[in-house]
Amino acid sequence: MAGSRHRGPQARVRSLFCALLLSLSRFAEGDGMGGDPAAAGAAGTAAAPPHRRFEYKYSFKGPHLVQSDGTVPFWAHAGNAIPSSDQIRIAPSLKSQRGSVWTKTKAAFENWEVEVTFRVTGRGRIGADGLAVWYTENQGLEGPVFGSADMWNGVGIFFDSFDNDGKKNNPAIVIIGNNGQIHYDHQNDGASQALASCQRDFRNKPYPVRAKITYYQKTLTVMVNNGFTPDKNDYEFCAKVDNMVIPPQGHFGISAATGGLADDHDVLSFLTFQLTEPGKEPPTPDKEISEKEKEKYQEEFEHFQQELDKKKEEFQKGHPDLQGHPADEIFESVGDRELRQIFEGQNRIHLEIKQLNRQLDMILDEQRRYVSSLTEEISKRGAGIPGQHGQITQQEMDTVVNTQHEILRQVNEMKNSMSDTVRLVSGLQHPGSAGGVYESTQHFNDIKEHLHIVKRDIDHLVQRNTPSNERPKCPELPPFPSCLSTMHFVIFVVVQTVLFVGYIMYRRPPSCRINARKREKRSGNENGYSLPLLSEMDENQIQMAGDDVDLPEDLRKMVDEDQEEEEDKDSILGQLQNLQNMDLDTIKEKAQATFTEMKQTAEQKCSVM
């Protein structure tokens, strides 16, 4: 810091000496041009660039671009424009969207320059519709021309993305002027109305695209940065219009629109500069307002100065021991603050390295205990280990021990390296050694990387040297459940059979029951005489006659008894009584054989799995 103060006057002397030599050389050139210094001065003035003054009321740039109420200072947005903290999305990537932003007040600049930084991004290879930069007499908040009004009075610079006329000359940058009486030819991309144009692809670029639009001495020039480099001054020529007449006062604006295809049109900054010729003072039409503002600011400055003097007096009264010291010694200087921050950072690094050193000692102790336990296990097992099947061999155990020794050696080396680092950091804490911050920090990062490598190697060795009996195994399959016993199976078969027989008997017609009596023979009755059997012809006649046939009383009783007996046999209870004559042992043996076969098949499938 002290060295820079001593070099300041020398630098000023050199700059003054160089300026003197430059003025002498220009004077010599004026003599060489015929001895007319005025002519030489005029030539130098013509070649000099114009003076640029930034106009904040006609500009916006992030961050903190939007206020709490969602508006942009000195600008008005309309349509589908979405302002945010770092950019303004003029038109989102949705179909048929329009948006624009315009300055609230008119600019009365004779010469001006605008620098626009924007992004046009979309998913497809072709986008639509485009973006436009305006300088018009009135605001065109909404309309069909890239989101702005048609028949404008001024000039528009169009960044057209879509090829409406099919000539394959898009994306393009087109300059179109209007006097407020001409409709824009959108179908032909304004080809007949264009004053100048150039083909530039400004979609989906890695960096934001920048456009510099300059209106100086009635000449409009457009320069474009292609978006392939972050260099803000890397502009290339696009188009130029001479003898361009525009309104003396107008609004700056930017608009965008989408159609069937859609792109995101984001504007990151819009910077406006007033240009003046060298040697001329820029016009100030609101000089009275400026004088009032100047008086207001002067009053505020004087008020703050009085407040500061009062605070100084109060501080001196509260600290009488510091009254004799100058103000520069009371407060901390920039160099002292930087040096203090460096020392605090070094102290934190020193504490971290001490903590790592303690952790390394713990790791070293763990490794020593691990090696000692392995050595004891080897000595206990002796020579019987190689002959046992499925256990670790003596050679593998030796390999593990050698690996552990190697790890111990590396850890010791790391410990020594960290000790050297601790000594280095301790030495850097002196005021004269503040230049080694970067080297110590780099060394600290190297130590952390080595620690991660050692930890990974230890975990890998632990996993590799785990005994086979302690390694996780696949879970054994549970025993196949015995979900059906023999008794349950027999009961199930009997119930199924009863239900089946009952259903058959229920569906049997009554005529079949009467015909079944033809094959039975009955003789004798309670009175002791025999009842002759009815022939088939007699029964048919009885059925045809119906209730008109009169039978003897004894014959009618026998027929009714036979009918009741047949119904009892055909009922479910009768079928259950007949089941007593079935061979249940045979059914049980078949059911057990079937169940055994099913169980063996399930066990085979489980063993395969």
Encode pLDDT of 4-55 as tens digits: 333 444 545 455 455 545 554 444 444 433 444 334 344 444 457 889 999 9
Cα separation, 174 vs 193, in Å, equals: 9
Question: Residue 102 belongs to what H/E stretch?
Answer: strand 98-103
Up-side HSE of residue 134: CA atoms within 13 Å toward CB?
32
Binning pLDDT at 50, 70 and 90, where does residue 268 land? very high
Averaged confidence pLDDT in the chain: 75
Binning pLDDT at 50, 70 and 90, where does residue 295 land? confident
Q: How many CB atoms lie within 10 A of CB 360?
A: 20
Q: Taking a C-beta distance cutoff of 8 angstroms, is the pair 134, 140 a contact?
A: yes
H, E, C per residue of 509-544: CHHHHHHHHHHCCCCCCCCCCCCCCCCHHHHHHHHH
What is the pLDDT, as a whole number, of residue 347? 87
What is the pLDDT, as a whole number, of residue 569? 55
Radius of gyration, alpha carbons of the chain: 53
Amino acid at 514: I
Binning pLDDT at 50, 70 and 90, where does residue 540 land? low
What is the pLDDT, as a whole number, of residue 506? 77
User: How would you label 239-252 residue by residue, b for 16+ Cβ within 10 Å and e otherwise?
Assistant: bbbeebebbeebbb
Q: Give 174 or 388, the one with higher predicted confidence.
A: 174
- Of the candidates 156, 236, 148, 220, the one whose C-alpha atom is nearest the C-alpha of residue 190 is 156
What is the pLDDT, as a whole number, of residue 225? 93
pTM exceeds 0.85: no
pLDDT reading at 546 higher than 60: no
Q: How many CB atoms lie within 10 A of CB 99?
A: 25
pLDDT in tens, 476-498: 555 545 556 677 788 888 888 88
- Of the candidates 205, 221, 206, 208, the one whose C-alpha atom is nearest the C-alpha of residue 269 is 208
pLDDT in tens, 48-101: 788 999 999 999 998 889 988 889 999 999 999 999 989 999 999 999 999 999
pLDDT in tens, 391-417: 556 677 777 777 777 777 877 777 777
What is the pLDDT, as a whole number, of residue 368? 85
